[in-house]
Amino acid sequence: MAEILLVDDEKAVRTTLSIMLQKSGYQVQEADNGQSALDRIKEKFFDLVITDLKMEPLDGIALLRSTKEINPSTEVLVMTAFGTVESGVEAMRLGAYDYIQKPFDKDEFLMVVAKAIERRELMIEVEQLQEELKEKYRFENIVGRSNEMMEVLSMVSKVAKTDSTVLITGESGTGKELIAKAIHLNSRRKNRAFVTINCGALPENLQESELFGHVRGAFTGAIREKRGLFHEANGGTLFLDEIGETALSTQVKLLRFLQDGEIRRIGENDPVHVDVRLIAATNQNLEKGISEGKFREDLYYRLNVIPVMLPPLRKRRDDIPLLINHFLEQYNKQGKALLKTVSPEAMGVLTGYDWPGNVRELENVIERALILSSKSIIQSEDLPAMIRKNHPKQAGDAGSAVPVLAPDQTLEEVEKQYILKTLDRYTWNQKKASELLGISTTTLWRKLKSYGIEPKKAE
Ligand SMILES: Nc1ncnc2c1ncn2[C@@H]1O[C@H](COP(=O)(O)OP(=O)(O)OP(=O)(O)O)[C@@H](O)[C@H]1O
Ligand SMILES: [Mg+2]
């Protein structure tokens, strides 16, 4: 129910209007001057403030200004004395929804109020919509509609709201760092630092001082003191990439942090508390590391509070055409490619390949093809021989319906055959088929028309 604050120094006016408003279903509070109105506005939110202009202390214009400062989305309706249009116009300039001249009749008054409330409700809806869009936008750079990726993404949005430690596992190039960033950006820590350390890139003796820092003279070569990455990440997120590569001595310190939230710089006696969320990633089998004595089992369990497993690309081939389109769009945006598409044949090769380097390898292959091909369509010749060579082995696999070219067939016939096969596979769902083919639904429709084929209804 909309809440209205009614401000007028004449009690009789307040009472009459208040009764009218309540009868129309609004909740009404009254104030007899600008100052007492302002005190209420500071305490609670009103959808609408209806105010007289001439009041002491604090007149209607001053109240309007302060209201808009405190709650810009509160609507203000100003009542002006007969013949003082100017102050009404000034009020609107300052953000009032409208003004109404005294004396006014009941219907006129209730209509203006209803309109102001309607606008307020509309604004609430718009705000909510914007929030929802923002939510979506945060995942915009992560592509994936396969069941496997949907699972990962729903996990991401769930864990983002917590401070739990997350362990992301997956083969190289599956998007572990991308997911780690998404967790950070969707968490309450999003405006604080996201600090990355690649444990594998650092020799054992440097890992500790990088992570925890050291005091001056802590060891030979420590000529000045150093803040560690834990300090830099304070309030934010620390991403430990290739956690499987950390030295056992570093693992002990990480474990201590996970147990009591405290770290100690090298050469310092007193531990300090830091507020850091840890996300770790690995493309190795940590359990194997444990059995080989290279990774501490207790640390593993503390890191693996929330496991996120990124499936390899070959286990989610449905995502391949989407990813290809995503990368083409990205290059288009950067002005590196102009509206290139992938020929159906090349798309078949790409969806059929096993992608040991996963999404990163796919990204590189697309970039290479864009550079190599001067035409507007990427053909299979533009793809690395490796990928083309592997292709026939994948026959029968999802996404590899490319027919073998018979000697007397024209390319056009092959294309037609491929399109029809793809449509059949997706039970004539033209949207899905066109996605896999890497063409727009309009192009698909045009091609069908040129073959003289009537599109079947999707099942
Ligand atoms: N689902 C996805 N949508 C869009 N881009 C993706 C997706 N997954 C990965 N990428 C892109 O692929 C590349 C590799 O991803 P990322 O660096 O996150 O992988 P990784 O798992 O950390 O690899 P590594 O184990 O080799 O470090 C990046 O450019 C990333 O933006
Ligand atoms: Mg990585």
What domains does the chain contain, in order, with CATH numbers? 3-132 (3.40.50.2300), 147-311 (3.40.50.300), 315-450 (1.10.8.60)
Q: Which of 360, 362, 365 to mutate to test the pocket of ligand 1 (most atoms within 8 A of CB)?
A: 360
**Segment 98-153, tens digit of pLDDT:** 999 988 899 999 999 999 999 888 888 877 777 666 565 457 688 988 888 888 98
Per-residue pLDDT, 393: 40
pLDDT for 431 beyond 80: yes
- Taking the model in full, what pTM does it have? 0.61
Q: Report the mean per-residue pLDDT for the chain.
A: 87
Mean pLDDT in residue range 413-434: 80
pLDDT at 184: 94
Going from the Cα of 179 to the center of ligand 1, the distance in angstroms, rounded, reads 8
Atom number in ligand 1 closest to CA 168: 21
How confident is the model at residue 396, as a pLDDT? 40
Considering every ligand atom shown, identify the ligand nearest to the alpha carbon of residue 172 and give its number: 1
Ligand 1 atom 5: the closest Cα is on which residue? 142
Name the residue at shortest CA distance from atom 24 of ligand 1. Answer: 172
Pocket test for ligand 1, best of 177, 315, 362, 365 (most atoms within 8 A of CB): 177
CB atoms within 10 A of CB 353: 28
Residue ranges around ligand 1 (CB below 6 Å): 142-144, 170, 172-178, 283, 323, 326, 359-360, 363
pLDDT per residue as tens digits for the range 16-64:
999 999 999 999 999 999 999 999 999 999 999 999 998 888 999 999 9
Q: Please give the number of the atom of ligand 1 that sits closest to the Cα of 326.
A: 4
Cα 147 to averaged position of ligand 2 atoms, centre (Å): 23
Nearest CA to ligand 1 atom 31: 178
Section 146-171 average pLDDT: 91
